[in-house]
Copies of this chain bind each other. A is one copy, B any other.
């Protein structure tokens, strides 16, 4: 097996990406160092060559999850449509970590919470910019962004709870339409 220094960076990356997916699918608490290492074909002992502790890994994995689920800067309409889509709802492991992990982060330790805090603010800024591109004063754009982000995160999380596919779809559709109506320039 690989023991080169180049391999090491690769291993770290694979561990981190797997962790980023697993926490979004199963929650922060459910992540097990043993299972995680097994899932990237390594033994558990090697973990501590890459991370100082499980707790450190969690903060880094959350950062990674939030970074790669960050929506590309886009205009408001496409952003809302893609966020509140069935495909996003059905793939939490690669989707927005705010929607899957906000409550987990709120009750986690300081370092994890700081990461989530920063990315929530980042998301609000992106949405505010998309809205400010046309029409609004900055102040109004921030308030509207807070509303849009709340509704998007809430709707996605709740759509994953609803068992009846029709109701789950209705949740996404109702919020999508409501938010699109906020932005007069939405196509």
* A interface residues with partner B (beta carbon < 8 Å): 25-27, 29-30, 92, 98-107, 113-114, 116-117, 120-121, 142-144, 146-147, 149-155, 157-158, 160-164, 167, 170-171, 174-175, 177-178
Contact = CB atoms under 8 A, between A and B. Distances in A.
18 contacts: A27-B107, A99-B103, A100-B103, A102-B157, A102-B160, A104-B104, A114-B163, A117-B163, A117-B164, A120-B162, A143-B174, A146-B171, A147-B174, A150-B152, A150-B171, A151-B154, A153-B154, A153-B158
Contacts of A121: 162, 167
Number of copies: 2
Nearest to A101: B103
A161 B120 contact: yes
Contacts of A102: 103, 157-158, 160-161
Nearest to A145: B174
